């Protein structure tokens, strides 16, 4: 049912700083139910480190994961600003506009912007 998917948080990112992120599509094998989630952390040296952590977690819940690309997030919690930019060498550039829409669901009082800038 929709309950398990609802239990998966839309966004899990570090509370502060600049770090890599990926946009991941979750799908039930053979099902119509799908959604995108955002994951990012300073702990990840490479984008695939994030995916390698998310993928087994989601498989346990019965989802197939597909990385739709990556980039970077600059999270300024003091000024309540998030900037999405850059790309992943391995996965390509995520659609940052999609990422921003997902971030807005969680960080409702933030100013959230994106660009295709590398830095």
Q: Are strands 111-114 and 81-85 parallel, antiparallel or unpaired?
A: parallel
Residues 114, 99 contacting (CB under 8 angstroms): yes
Q: Where are the alpha helices (DSSP H) in the chain?
A: 2-7, 47-60, 96-106
User: Catalytic site residues?
Assistant: 47
119 is in an annotated binding site: no
Residues 13, 38 contacting (CB under 8 angstroms): yes
Residue in 78, 97, 86 with CA at minimum distance from that of residue 16: 78
Return binding residues for substrate. Answer: 20
Annotated binding-site residue numbers = 20
């Amino acid at each position: 049912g929709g309950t398990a998917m609802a239990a998966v948080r839309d966004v899990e990112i570090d509370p502060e700083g600049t770090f890599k992120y990926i946009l991941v599509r979750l799908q039930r094998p053979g099902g119509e139910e799908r959604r995108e989630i955002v994951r990012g952390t300073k702990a990840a040296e490479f984008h695939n480190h994030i995916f390698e952590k998310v993928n087994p977690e989601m498989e346990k819940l019965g989802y197939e994961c597909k990385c739709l690309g990556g980039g970077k997030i600059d999270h300024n919690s003091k000024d309540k600003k998030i900037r999405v930019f850059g790309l992943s060498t391995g996965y390509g550039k995520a659609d940052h506009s999609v990422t921003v829409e997902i971030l807005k669901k969680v960080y409702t009082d933030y100013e959230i912007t994106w660009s295709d800038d590398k830095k």
